[in-house]
A and B are shown apart, each in its own frame.
Chain A
């Protein structure tokens, strides 16, 4: 198989030369031929060929190519017409060849293929090659000469144990050629100059020398060149697009801008107008809005769940690293020795920063972060476990928490200055009372002096002197009569002021010293009523005196019922337990309302509108119904020792003051606990009084001050009473730890009278 291939290639090469065929195709053929060549094994015939070529290894022998046989079909393809003529031409060619290469013996010996003759064609007038006629005898094909191994492409080791290596075309065994041992091989390399250019042919199982062609290919491959010897890497460039007359002028086309580029397409317009007309005519209806099905389909995972749950809280952001966390911080960020020790000695929680600034000369030297896992873990713990509550920060102005109170100036009038000062030089002014018409005031002191003075001017017009302390003074609340009661030691005296209108005076006389005494009650009372007869009466004497039981003490409180017929007296400091008396003027009768009472009674009060009766013991205030004679409720002010109380003119509210400085406001319909507890005096509260007309109340204290409060009470039950502190009146001196002992309002004006322990009675005007 080796032989025909070189022939083929040589024919081809000739052919390409003749026809200017592209050079690529023969290369591939040659390559395949080469491969086959290596497999060839019939080296016997070629060996002499190779020998002859030996001297001219470097020069590629042209002869081989010329000596290649031309196949019939190829020739036939080329020139079918000149079959007859070609015979002659071939002969001529053969002759030429022979003449040109006489020197080579090999050529002459192995005249394989007739030489072509170049003749002038009769038809075309062109020179053409004419090959001699091939005789179809056995020897005509050179390929058949060799007894080649026709075993095919089978592994040759199948024949390893056989004496033959295959079969030839006739079925005869091709015997294994003798192979020399290693010594022969060595000798061959020394002796045979072509030995190093031979290769082992597997098919023939012997060394075969490589042809010069193959050696040339090997040489080229070894040099890293294209194995095709005809390949010219430096072919002259064919200028297809450059050069003279072939220049391309930009833009590619110099044609003017076609009209269609800037004129709207008429066709498109027509098309659009057609659609527009169809829309107008209603033939084309816009897409219906997508019918929302009952259950909207949505992607669960793609968007945030739209629930009413509060949005996920963003995790706290890490603080950005600072200079100290740099791998190469400035020197000042590094820790000194002391700081380092301190840092190390502290617990991790107490450290100001959780790392120690370190300095590295380059980033490559920075070690891996040893706390990484721990820190990640802590961070996860933090994210997972830390309660994250979205706090809406409350911006509360502290001033807004203070209850909105109207300004005192908008709540005028209220007393704000001391207008008058009346002196009781010899003793503490214990009590004061203002007549119901607001013109006169009576004040009593501990020396036994009762002084009557004009409220507005303060000029004393009358003075009475009694034995013992004056405990209380109270004007009768009636307008048609004019008198007041004075409680002194174990007695209550009734005094009529001077300059009373004659009719009033007569009525007062009739009331207090009636000519016909009412019949004594069925049960004789221990209280004696003694009247002075009108004829022997003068202004200096009490017209009526009540003698309380002996050692009952000073009546410290006299409390008139609103209608002026009843009055109650409370005596303290006496030995007797029963200190409360209710006196009735019309019947001239006194009775003790309580047979037995728990605790020492401090104060009593008549309810302004109902037949109710307040009794204050040291810690409790009890409300009795006088008509039904039973306890209604017990109020618990939480005061250790009640000193004073007063009831609002409406009768629904009660204020109670104590020696422990507390003032309790009770809403009687609300609760038994105080609605409000005020503690504003620095010493014990001594006296309280509601103004009968104005929404005011006053409290007097041992700290020498009087405080005025605005106290508006609303009719509807929903509105809480409004209590506004208005004014602190100072002016009384504290003597012996006692300050202001009693305050009373002028019933007609917002004026206040106060009796102080310093012996002065002051009138405070608005």
Chain B
């Protein structure tokens, strides 16, 4: 630092993390990089355990020296730079790999000790942390597009078997409510379809559950609202145009616990095209996005579309609501992820745009309310971790399945774990999202063949 040519740049630091610095101007040598700045902040804070920080200069993560950045942006030496520091994202680490024979359309790491996947072969699979398949349930004959775990209805019996209620959406135009039992160790798992939801005339694209209510979205542009109660009898009659053989079979199966055919509580109609994703935002409100380039907010109780955010020629594939509920991040086929502010009611709600080199198919946000991070999976097999404050480049990038360009169809991010599902099966990565320390997950990198 005693270099004669070293020039100093006035800098003030801001942060939204829990480590604020007193507002004060620092004279920083322009040869400094992120590492030096991070050390400076750590020293100034006097932290016992050093925390790596990343630095955002005008919405851009500092990747070079300060002088290079200044030269690139034409900032003079006398201008005070306001630098925001965020906790650095450690390079994501691959935790385990779960190969599948078919494409995985939906993943969940919401359960503390299990990973669930729904695949294009119609199977719902459950894995334990040692990559063993503990459940392989052929719930559908057609590809499962999406599934959700009902939050409150898991019970654990004396053997340690845990029973969950899972709802799945499929290409076979129905969604199903199923009960799966995940055994503790050794014992067999079981699954049972409780009811099938009949509304849609096109493949069901997504399903969302909250409390006792379900929302399904379909390619036919409808969103169905359901409850989770299992009716005693079929609410929807069996189609009649099937052959006599079927009738016979039905008779045979009648004794068995045949899934009851459920009808929706209400139907939310507003989308002009395929609805690609529906999601709850609160107990009575929901949001959906579709190929008609809209993100719609719903008042579920009254079946009303409260707000429509229209974009131009952006068929949306997926969206996610930030934990604070203030903005939505929607990915579209024009290779962009757009952030929409849900609080603003005028048309120009788009606040930021994140460009991808390939079609981003799925998006997930960190559940930490303080976090600003979001992951997207794209058809080029790359998962990108974004900080919504830095639109230019992703904070971290990692390639699923060794990076051979297999499509990613689904991501899920719970705590520090990002599950990636797609053409190559499922990958689980450790991505340090927010500050909150997730549950300790035994990382077992030993690869085992799946069952």
Chain A residues within CB distance 8 Å of chain B:
412-413, 417, 419-420, 437, 439, 456-459, 461, 498-499, 501-506, 509, 534-535, 748-751, 765-766
B41 → chain A closest CB, angstroms: 40
CB neighbours (8 Å) of B305 from chain A are: none
A603 → chain B closest CB, angstroms: 32
A417 and B172 alpha carbons, distance in the complex (Å): 31
| Residue interface mask B4-34, A partner, CB < 8 A = 1 | 0000000000000000000000000000000
Q: Are B379 and A499 in contact (CB under 8 A)?
A: no
A458 and B409 alpha carbons, distance in the complex (Å): 11
CB neighbours (8 Å) of A748 from chain B are: 273, 291
A503 and B202 alpha carbons, distance in the complex (Å): 11
Q: Are B244 and A499 in contact (CB under 8 A)?
A: no
Q: Are A412 and B203 in contact (CB under 8 A)?
A: no
Q: Are B173 and A417 in contact (CB under 8 A)?
A: no
A501 and B274 alpha carbons, distance in the complex (Å): 15
A599 → chain B closest CB, angstroms: 43
CB neighbours (8 Å) of A439 from chain B are: 202-203, 219, 274
Chain B residue nearest to A419 (CB atoms) is B359
| Residue interface mask B239-252, A partner, CB < 8 A = 1 | 10101110000000
Closest 4 CB pairs of A and B: A506-B241, A501-B201, A502-B239, A413-B313
CB neighbours (8 Å) of A534 from chain B are: 243
A535 and B241 alpha carbons, distance in the complex (Å): 11
A501 → chain B closest CB, angstroms: 4
Partner of B379, one of A420, A502, A506: A420
CB neighbours (8 Å) of B407 from chain A are: 420, 457-458
Q: Are A499 and B142 in contact (CB under 8 A)?
A: yes
Can you list 19 A-B contacts (CB < 8 A)? A412-B313, A437-B202, A439-B203, A439-B274, A456-B333, A498-B142, A499-B142, A499-B172, A502-B239, A504-B201, A506-B239, A534-B243, A748-B273, A748-B291, A749-B333, A750-B313, A751-B333, A765-B335, A766-B334
Tell me the dominant secondary structure on chain B's binding face.
Answer: loop
Q: Are B313 and A765 in contact (CB under 8 A)?
A: no
B241 → chain A closest CB, angstroms: 4
B290 → chain A closest CB, angstroms: 12
Q: Are B241 and A509 in contact (CB under 8 A)?
A: yes
At the interface, yes or no: B377 with Cβ under 8 Å from chain A? no
CB neighbours (8 Å) of B244 from chain A are: 535
At the interface, yes or no: B171 with Cβ under 8 Å from chain A? yes
Q: Are A499 and B313 in contact (CB under 8 A)?
A: no
At the interface, yes or no: B396 with Cβ under 8 Å from chain A? no
A420 and B361 alpha carbons, distance in the complex (Å): 12
A437 and B379 alpha carbons, distance in the complex (Å): 23
Q: Are B171 and A499 in contact (CB under 8 A)?
A: yes
CB neighbours (8 Å) of A457 from chain B are: 103, 105, 361, 407, 409
Q: Are B241 and A502 in contact (CB under 8 A)?
A: yes
Chain B residues within CB distance 8 Å of chain A:
103, 105, 120, 142-143, 171-173, 201-203, 219, 239, 241, 243-245, 273-274, 291, 313, 315, 317, 333-335, 358-359, 361, 379, 407, 409, 423
CB neighbours (8 Å) of B313 from chain A are: 412-413, 750, 766
CB neighbours (8 Å) of A420 from chain B are: 359, 379, 407
B377 → chain A closest CB, angstroms: 12
Known: A504-B201, A766-B334. A461 touches B171 (CB 8 A): yes
CB neighbours (8 Å) of B171 from chain A are: 461, 498-499
CB neighbours (8 Å) of B241 from chain A are: 502, 505-506, 509
Q: Are A459 and B103 in contact (CB under 8 A)?
A: yes
A506 → chain B closest CB, angstroms: 4
CB neighbours (8 Å) of A765 from chain B are: 333-335, 359
Partner of A419, one of B105, B358, B409, B423: B358
A355 and B203 alpha carbons, distance in the complex (Å): 96
Q: Are A749 and B203 in contact (CB under 8 A)?
A: no
Known: A439-B274, A749-B315, A766-B333. A459 touches B202 (CB 8 A): no
CB neighbours (8 Å) of B315 from chain A are: 749
CB neighbours (8 Å) of B423 from chain A are: 459
A413 and B358 alpha carbons, distance in the complex (Å): 17
List 12 additional A-B contacts (Cβ < 8 Å) besides A412-B313, A459-B105, A499-B203: A439-B219, A456-B333, A457-B361, A459-B120, A461-B143, A461-B171, A498-B142, A502-B241, A504-B201, A748-B273, A750-B313, A765-B335
CB neighbours (8 Å) of A417 from chain B are: 335, 358
Known: A499-B171, A748-B273, A750-B313. A419 touches B202 (CB 8 A): no
Q: Are B245 and A459 in contact (CB under 8 A)?
A: no
A749 and B313 alpha carbons, distance in the complex (Å): 9
Q: Are A419 and B172 in contact (CB under 8 A)?
A: no
Chain B residue nearest to A748 (CB atoms) is B273
Interface centre among A456, A457, A458 (most CB of B within 10 A): A457
Chain A residue nearest to B172 (CB atoms) is A499
B168 → chain A closest CB, angstroms: 14
Q: Are B143 and A459 in contact (CB under 8 A)?
A: yes
Chain B residue nearest to A537 (CB atoms) is B243
Chain B residue nearest to A413 (CB atoms) is B313
CB neighbours (8 Å) of A456 from chain B are: 317, 333
CB neighbours (8 Å) of A502 from chain B are: 239, 241
Q: Are B203 and A503 in contact (CB under 8 A)?
A: no
